[in-house]
Chain A
């Protein structure tokens, strides 16, 4: 527990605290703040949705009941539609391109795009590139035709599945494993670490290495609270956050590759696509961009594509 006089920083998130990329980063942040800022600030982490889920936590943050959260980027749709950029399929080739974009001027500006609605983005945290899985082999985009996919609650992702001829199904995360197993839904999309962590590969025919999108998180705070901190406290916190982010983001690619290998070791099937096959997926899914260009802003898409071209 925190001592009297310390600034209490509550950090609520939805994953475990020792295996998931986000959980590991949160735990590291907590350790460092509590060690280096002892007497000044004190961080309490609430993992596993024990305090709030991803939707409630942003409400609670605006109310001042929690100070830090790290929801996935698609959860910020209600705050600014520009974040739909990250959900658009095949926007980024790989996690390095994502990383470079997030650290570019455009990416950094996005962190501050929600201040008028009370949120301030502090750091982007990587999970990784999304893969697609189903209860039958997915080689060509037409293989996804007529399948029911569980997707995160995001208009872009729903449109993306519709573009494939699939039917998007919203579903509580805890029901997904059972639903995939019994066939209530046929497939899903996720990062290697989530697919391994949730054991989805056990109940799917195989995982197709599409790298078609990303799941990343935004470490976010209440802008009023952040500005109420003394400048030196704020600077120290920001420095620790930046360092933790650099360490964990650098490790994220490695973590996902390990999970990919772990899936294969556990008997799961991983299918790679040829350049030609991948091009077909791009061809089918990329038109989704047009539906959301107004929301995202053509200039942001251009900036992302300029960076993407370098990778």
Chain B
């Protein structure tokens, strides 16, 4: 496809392939689990009781992981009506300002994601309301490794984490720190990609952080049919 992101190094291509395949696989799994559950319920009067919860987690993984990819390939929607009216130097200043805001946003969300996830993994949150000023002193409520999800059963091959995370008590369902791990991971990637994008704008390799509408790639693919008079 013409609007497709083309990485310029071998490592870049490998990483890109991994990212795109991950997005495809997550969406494919969501669809399959949901579909299988319909078949099981309607056809066989049964179902995977954990299917719904697993699908919602995959959905969260898809989006939380995917946002950094969307930044990398500049796929996020924005409004360019006003910035198009300015001269290129002004536009560049605005784009740098926008990048700074995006970096600040990703930074705050990354801190929030860590603080949210850490206790589920028996790790300390950061202190400080805006900026991390240190690590909390662990108290009784800071250990939440025991906190399980609602439906997804604990697989046998994961039992080795029980002594590490749950004082040796066995898990009935998987602990929450597993599905929630995507949050700090995804937000760290998002921060990284926004910093990269900011640098590209600084160097003049990229003009802005946005596309003006959601179907831009698809439009490019078909636009040739109506070019010329």
Contacts and interface: CB of A to CB of B under 8 A. Distances in A.
A223 B45 contact: no
B139 A224 contact: yes
Nearest to A117: B146
A148 B146 CA distance: 32
A153 B119 contact: no
B151 A223 contact: no
Interface residues of B, number: 20
Interface stretch (B46-54, B93-101, B186-194): B46-54
Nearest to A81: B172
B49 A148 contact: no
Contacts of B172: 155
B140 A169 contact: no
B45 A118 contact: no
A111 interface: no
B41 interface: yes
Nearest to A64: B141
A183 to B, nearest CB: 10
Given A55-B150, A62-B119, A158 B49 contact: yes
Nearest to B125: A63
B116 A63 contact: yes
Interface string B22-48: 000000000000000000010001110
Contacts of A78: 146-148, 150, 173
Contact of A170 (B52, B146, B147, B173): B52
Nearest to A61: B141
Interface string B135-167: 000011100101110110000000000000000
A169 B151 contact: no
A310 interface: no
A118 B41 contact: no
A27 interface: no
Contacts of A168: 49
Contacts of B47: 167, 169
B151 A153 contact: yes
A282 to B, nearest CB: 25
Given A224-B140, A224-B141, A170 B151 contact: yes
Contact of A62 (B141, B148, B173): B141
Interface of A: 55, 59, 62-63, 78, 116-118, 146, 148, 153, 155, 158, 167-171, 222-224
10 contacts: A59-B147, A62-B141, A62-B144, A63-B116, A78-B146, A78-B148, A118-B140, A169-B41, A223-B140, A224-B140
Interface of B: 41, 45-47, 49, 52-53, 116, 119, 139-141, 144, 146-148, 150-151, 172-173
Closest 9 CB pairs of A and B: A118-B141, A153-B150, A78-B148, A167-B45, A62-B141, A170-B52, A167-B46, A224-B141, A78-B147
Given A118-B141, A158-B49, 4 more contacts: A78-B173, A155-B172, A167-B46, A170-B151
